[in-house]
Amino acid sequence: MNILRKLFGTNSTAKVNTARLSHNYPSEFYPWENVDASRNDALLQAKNTLDPSIIKGIKSCPNCGLASEQLSWFWFSSPQEDWDALAGRAGWMSVCDACHIQVEFLNEIMS
């Protein structure tokens, strides 16, 4: 019994390690269609200025490891229908263009 417990103890530690190696990360916070709409909205981007200190040393790309500071950062605002439904969100989002992954979303405004 003690041996089994020991074995299971060892197994549960191994499971944690395995989980960390799997690609178990969200590849998107929002549909790409919405993300690209914000990113390509020149007026929206011009209205918001990124403070480089808030993105320093935070989440890097979970796939290729590109550092936070080297990812593409832009202001994201969810679609108008989300705001109308009091479910709007806006904030800074980072994307790894090479891996096509939405890495981080720093939510600053909620309706």
> Which residues are near Zn ion by CB under 5 A?
61, 63-64, 66, 96, 99
Q: Which is nearer to Zn ion, 12 or 22 (CB)?
A: 22
Nearest distance in Å: CB 62, Zn ion: 8
- Which of 92, 91, 93, 89 shows the shortest CA–CA distance to 102? 93
Give the separation between CA 77 and CA 49, rounded to whole angstroms: 14
Q: Which is nearer to Zn ion, 58 or 99 (CB)?
A: 99
Q: Which is nearer to Zn ion, 38 or 102 (CB)?
A: 102
Nearest distance in Å: CB 27, Zn ion: 11
Per the listing, tokens 């191994």 go with 14
- Name the E strands within the chain: 72-77, 89-96, 101-110
